Amino acid sequence: MLSSLRSMWLTFLHLFQKNITIEYPEEKSVLPPRYRGRIVLTRDPDKEERCVGCYLCAVACPVDCISLQATEDEHGRRYPEFFRINFSRCIFCGYCEEACPTYAIQLIPDVEMSEYDRQNMVYEKEDLTIDGQGKYHGYNFYREAGLAIKGKEKGSGHNEEPPVDIKSLIP
């Protein structure tokens, strides 16, 4: 008896407390920047695609929902010919972001991805690519890699000596 009355009293007190729920979708919650939501492909500081088509996101994906095909331009820069994520399979685990060696693939705090037609959950590269650098600024993979691409000759990357003159006899 006493216990029931106590419960009713506590419930009554809740009438005067602040609401925890919000009126979604009229009112939106603020998600932290590292929240794992929709996946995007970002660009490097020079506005070029960051993705180099290394397939590491695809192989890290536990539900195998990423597929791509790597190709390269005439100067040897790798990029994905197509890049597809089947969001109807994605579990937003973030393994792809962890695997990405170039900060290209990132999860952003956008969770509003509902569709009436499941086919619309298949995102291609054009749907995934954003214009900015996402969460990680300043990194350009090709400046660190040894590979030569347009605008970056052999030996002009970070922490690189100029190419060896193999005909030199100097010890």
Partner 1 sequence: MATITVDGRNFDVGSDKNLLETLLWLGFDLPYFCWHPSLGSVGSCRQCAVKKIQGENGDRSQLVMACMEPTIDGMEVSIQDKQASEFRANVIEWLMLNHPHDCPVCDEGGECHLQDMTVMTGHAYRRSRFKKRTHLNQDLGPCINHEMNRCIQCYRCVRFYNDYAGGDDLQVFSAHDNVYFGRHQDGTLESEFSGNLVEVCPTGVFTDKTLKSHYTRKWDLTSAPSVCHHCSLGCNILAGERYGSLRRILNRYNPEVNGYFICDRGRFGYDFVNAEDRILVPRERDRSEVILESSPIIASLKTALASGEVKGVGSPRASLESNFALRELVGSDNFYNGMSGGESELVQLALDFLSNGPVKSTSLTEIEHCDAVIVIGEDLTNTAPMMDLALNQSVRVQPLEQLGQVGIPEWNDAAAREYLQNQKGPLYLLMPQPSKLSRIATKSFRRGIPELIRLLSEITGLLDPSNGPTKVQQPASGSPNAAREADETVKEIAAALATAKRPLVIAGTSMGSLPLMQAAINIAIALHRKNENTRVSFVFPECNTAGAAMMEEKSLPAGQLSGTAPHTLIVLENDLYRRGTPNQIDEFINRFKQVLVLDHSETPTTARADLVLASGTFAEADGSLVNHEGRVQRFIQVQAADELVLESWRWILKLGKLVDNQKLTAYSEFDHLVDAIEQGCVQFAGIARTSLPADYRVHGQRLTRAPHRYSGRTSMFANHSVSEPRPPQDQDSPFSFTMEGHPGIPPESATSHYWSPGWNSVQSITKFRSEISRGRQQSDPGVRLIEPSGKAYLEYLKLAQTHDHQWQLVPLHHIFGSEEMSIKSPAIAARSPEPKITLNSAQAEEHGIKAGSTLAIIIDDQETALPVQLDADWPTDHIGITAGLPGLPYMEGNSIVQLKPPGNEN
Residues that bind partner 1 (CB under 8 A): 52-56, 58-59, 61, 63-72, 78, 84-86, 88-89, 101-102, 118-119, 121-122, 124, 141, 144-148, 154-155, 159-164, 166-169, 171
47-50 — which CB contacts under 8 Å span 24+ positions? Answer: 47/131, 48/77, 49/79, 49/80, 49/104, 49/129, 50/102, 50/103, 50/104, 50/133, 50/139, 50/140, 50/141
- Smallest separation, CB 78 to partner 1 (Å): 5
Helix, coil or strand: residue 81: strand
Choose between 113 and 147: whose C-beta lies nearer to partner 1. Answer: 147
Identify residue 151 by its one-letter amino acid code.
Answer: G
Choose between 41 and 54: whose C-beta lies nearer to partner 1. Answer: 54
Choose between 30 and 164: whose C-beta lies nearer to partner 1. Answer: 164
In the numeric block, which tokens belong to residue 129? 């690519």
**Residue 169, CA distances (Å) to 70, 163, 165 in order:** 41, 15, 9
- Smallest separation, CB 169 to partner 1 (Å): 8
- Name the nearest CA neighbour of 42 among 121, 108, 103: 103
Choose between 7 and 71: whose C-beta lies nearer to partner 1. Answer: 71
- Smallest separation, CB 7 to partner 1 (Å): 49
Choose between 53 and 134: whose C-beta lies nearer to partner 1. Answer: 53
- Smallest separation, CB 6 to partner 1 (Å): 53
- Smallest separation, CB 156 to partner 1 (Å): 9
Instruction: Give the separation between CA 162 and CA 27, rounded to whole angstroms.
Output: 57
